[in-house]
Amino acid sequence: MVTAMRIAIEVARHGSFTAASRELRLSAPSVSRIMAELEADLGVRLFNRTTRQLNLSDAGMEFVQKSSGILEELDTMRSVVRERHETPRGQLRVSCVMAFGNECLAPALPEFLRRFPQLDISLDLGNRLVDLIEEHYDVAIRVGPLRDSSMIAQKIYTQRIVFVASPEVCRRFGMPKSFDEIRSYPSVTQVSGEWGRTHQFRFLGEIIDFEVPQHFRMNSARAVKNACLTGYGYSLLPDFMVADDLAENRLVQLLPHYEPVEQSIYAFYAQRRHTPQKIRVFIDYLAEVFGS
């Protein structure tokens, strides 16, 4: 049936059995026979024939249109299956938010490159929104869903923003018990574009917004943490950035009874009919490493 579909499409395109047979490198009698057998099998006439021309019937038009879609799907399936058995190669361009890129993604990439040595990675760390198509990125990793129908979003991680301070700050100012109290403490915070201006917390069953102080702010979470470690004041930082510092008592978590609302981190890539293998294996690797 697949062969008959291809022949019917070529006959319709050329308007001639003879021209279709030349295109397909088949004999004209073979093309005529296969089309006759197809029409007999379907029980309809696909082509209206005269001595001077050959035209599609209504049934033939429908058959050719649907056959074109089916053959395109088969060709895509064949490419996908074939590519899965080939080694990914070429350059993968990735844009990633700075904090997650510095602390989590960069340390995970050497193992990915060991698995796929014929791939090269260009990692761009920054918090601005990039245009994947215009700027030729393969994947962008960002906090929160982006409402763009041309993008596919794969959730890879969940971060929680926590209040932290050095033990010195806690000794100097005491342990705050509420948002109202902590607002009087000095702070160093991260704000990047619109992100970071407000964080949400759950307290006594309600969601409360905490508006981040602006008097000492930076656009780098790592810089914020370094300033926080000096004992200047408190900070709001992702949990993955401060886990070791909390465990080793370099930092103390403040207001632990205010539960941070989780923030999802997504890998975005352009919606395509056939996703390149280098993107597919990278997304699978991110899910493997960060999904747990």
The secondary element (H helix, E strand) that includes residue 100 is helix 98-100
Task: Supply the pLDDT for residue 292.
Answer: 65
Fold that domain 161-261 belongs to in CATH: D-Maltodextrin-Binding Protein; domain 2 (3.40.190)
How high is the mean pLDDT in each 10-residue block of the chain (292 residues)? Answer: 82 79 83 84 82 78 83 74 71 95 96 95 91 90 80 93 96 95 93 86 94 89 95 95 96 96 94 84 95 74
* φ, ψ at 276 (rounded to 5°): -55, 145
| Domain assignments of the chain as residue spans, ordered by start | 2-84, 90-153+267-290, 161-261
* Chain position carrying tokens 């579909």: 5
SS3 content of the chain, % helix, strand, coil (to 5): 40, 25, 30
**Degrees to nearest 5, angle at CA 45 with 40 and 50:** 120
pTM greater than 0.85 (yes/no): no
- Tell whether domain 90-153+267-290 is in CATH 3.40.50.300: no
Amino acid at position 245, single letter: D
* Residue 247, token pair as written in the block: 């465990």
Please state which CATH number belongs to domain 2-84: 1.10.10.10
Residue 120 pairs with which residues in a beta bridge? 91
